[in-house]
Amino acid sequence: MLMDGTVITLAGFTLSPERALYALIGLFVTGKVIDAVEMGLSYSKVAYIISNQKETITQAILQDLDRGLTELAGRGGYTNEERPVLMVVVGQNEVTRLKTLVRLVDPEAFVIISNTREVLGEGFKKES
């Protein structure tokens, strides 16, 4: 990356800033294509849900989304209270349904949704 950056910077000074910008865009696109080939195009999301309505949210996810979930033990840093954290992995197309379910059950729930590149196991990619 350092070498690529050096070459693009020198090209910007010797050729033109416009050509250096095209080289930068090309480098970015090349990196994304390599990632897609290496890791695949399927993205999943992992959601962490902290709520006082744990049982109701669990049932909604199990029944309505037909997804499994894991309950993690958590402790509030500010309140020092024990709280369960629900972790669920969903496909990209299920994120909106998950957020809607959680919002309907507990509008005050704290939800973190992150990208995850590779999920192995039931309902997802089998290990090869």
Q: What is the pLDDT of residue 48?
A: 96
Q: Is residue 81 part of a domain?
A: yes
Do 32 and 51 have their domain in common? no
Q: Is residue 13 part of a domain?
A: yes
- pLDDT at residue 20 tops 60: yes
Which residues make Cβ contacts (< 8 Å) with residue 116, sequence separation at least 6?
Answer: 43, 44, 45, 46, 89
Q: Is residue 125 within 8 Å of 119, Cβ to Cβ?
A: yes
What is the residue range of 99's domain? Answer: 44-116
Do 24 and 85 have their domain in common? no
What pTM does this model have? 0.66
Do 111 and 65 have their domain in common? yes
Q: How many domains does the chain have?
A: 2
At 101, which CATH number? 3.30.70.120
Euclidean distance between CA atoms 127 and 79, whole angstroms: 41
Q: What is the pLDDT of residue 84?
A: 92
Q: Is residue 123 part of a domain?
A: no
Do 25 and 83 have their domain in common? no
